[in-house]
Amino acid sequence: MKKFLGLSLAVVLSLSMLAGCTSNNDTETKAPEATEAATEAGASNDAASEFKIGFIYDGEVGDGGYTQAHDDARKELVAATGVTTMYVEGSSSDSAAIEKICEDFISNGCQMIIGTSFAFQDGMLVAAENNPDIIFEHFSGYYLADNYGNYFGKMYQMRYLAGMVAGLQTETNKIGYVAAFAIPEVVRGINAFALGVQAVNPDATVEVSWTSTWNDSALEKDAATALISKGCDVIAQHQNTTGAQVAAEEAGVWGIGYNKDMAYAAPNAALTAPIWTTSAYLITRVEAAMNGTWTSGSYFGPASDNVVDLAPLTDNVKEGTAEIVEAKHKEIIANGNNDGIFVGPIIDNAGNVILEDGVAMGDGELLSPDTMSWLNENVIGTVQ
């Protein structure tokens, strides 16, 4: 399909009917007098610009992390396809609120809706059932319907590489990991990171601190600070803000970010970060939606599909780290889904055998809360 260059100018469209936003800890819903959705127009006088897509974000587009990574992908989508996009930031996870946002997007001409938070899936599914002619794509969820698909990337592959960086960097052999919620996505990431640590430094441990939030930078910073007080000299995270990295910077230890390259927020601490690069997937799916070939499905793409990546290693990493990590990175890219990360022998931190020698864990097990409910033997903590 011919590609069109989108306009860089973003204008703001007031949509007083849109749902309310939430506080940073996502527990208190408040209804502002009017909510705004930003709209970015595609190439003028072109059929593609008439195709409208609504994006629902749980955080702010300038958060320097998760939401900004998704918004970068949206901008790249506009530039590549010429479509018109709208977005709402700071959205409530309340299902009724999400359903309302979807309905308001549809009333404003959106033919496709993309939600970027796990918590949005229930409300989006109701909206999809009520609007069978509208296409829905949901990031990180698992629901499917004729007009509702989900997508995610094998971020655990990049977590493994980040774990190798941490294992090679630590002097105390104590690594901290600030984590949001004990859902398969997060637990899978912790375990992959820990396996990466273990591969290069069997003596190192990874201590997990759960925050039960995605977007509370102060709480995330406090959790990181507590881990540092225990002797952790590398701080990794599965959180949406830069709070944990700022804590590492202020304490003079090392940091591994997430979602986007967070080196700007902690230049003296930053080592690298597993990052999202979902625009390639979105471009393919939107082009299919525009030409009538879109079909529902569940996508769990490897790094070879260019949906996940590792931010460039900074000059802070130890000598020799780049060569070791680059070699493994190339191996993971070359092998696609057969990355060899969750392959036995794997033992959990309670002494249970998770995988026998040579046995690999399949995608279904990696995605399931029933089977991804353990922590690797070098992890300090429990699945809460």
203 and 122 co-located in one domain: no
For each of the chain's 384 residues, which pLDDT tens digit applies? 322 222 222 322 323 233 323 323 332 222 222 234 566 655 544 677 899 999 999 988 988 899 999 999 999 999 999 999 999 998 888 999 999 999 999 999 999 999 999 899 999 999 999 999 999 999 988 999 999 999 999 999 999 999 999 999 999 999 999 999 999 999 999 999 999 999 999 999 999 999 999 989 999 999 999 999 999 999 999 999 999 999 999 999 999 999 999 999 999 999 999 999 999 999 999 999 999 999 999 999 999 999 999 999 999 999 999 999 999 999 999 999 999 999 999 999 999 999 999 999 999 999 999 999 999 999 999 998
Q: Is residue 149 part of a domain?
A: yes
Q: Which residue, of 290, 305, 320, is where some domain finishes? A: 305
30 and 176 co-located in one domain: no
Q: Is residue 163 part of a domain?
A: yes
123 and 46 co-located in one domain: yes
125 and 166 co-located in one domain: no
Per residue, what are the HEC states of 129-191? HHCCCCEEEEECCCCCECCEEEEEECHHHHHHHHHHHHHHHCCCCEEEEEECCCCHHHHHHHH
pLDDT of residue 153: 97
Q: Is residue 236 part of a domain?
A: yes
159 and 147 co-located in one domain: no
Residue with tokens 């959205």: 91
182 and 70 co-located in one domain: no
Residue with tokens 């709208």: 86
332 and 210 co-located in one domain: yes
Strands of 10-15's sheet, edge to edge? Answer: 10-15, 35-40, 84-88, 52-56, 110-115, 135-139, 148-153, 298-301
CATH code of the domain covering residue 222: 3.40.50.2300
Q: Is residue 200 part of a domain?
A: yes
Q: Is residue 2 part of a domain?
A: no
Q: Is residue 16 part of a domain?
A: yes
pLDDT of residue 93: 86
The domain in which residue 252 lies consists of: 155-276+311-380
Residue 308: which residues within 8 A CB-CB, separation 6 or more? 153, 154, 155, 157, 158, 274, 275, 276, 277, 301, 302
Question: Omega into 345 within 30° of 0, i.e. cis?
Answer: yes
175 and 98 co-located in one domain: no
What pairing do the DSSP bridges indicate for beta strands 52-56 and 35-40? unpaired
Q: Which residue, of 305, 321, 345, is where some domain finishes? A: 305
140 and 197 co-located in one domain: no
Q: Is residue 136 part of a domain?
A: yes
168 and 129 co-located in one domain: no
205 and 141 co-located in one domain: no
Give the chain's domain count.
2
Residue 14: count other Cβ atoms within 10 Å of its Cβ: 10
Rounded to a whole number, what is the distance in angstroms from the first to the last CA of the chain?
Answer: 47
- Of 16, 296, 282, 246, nearest to 135 by C-alpha is 296
Q: Is residue 300 part of a domain?
A: yes
237 and 365 co-located in one domain: yes
With a threshold of 0.75, does the pTM exceed it? yes
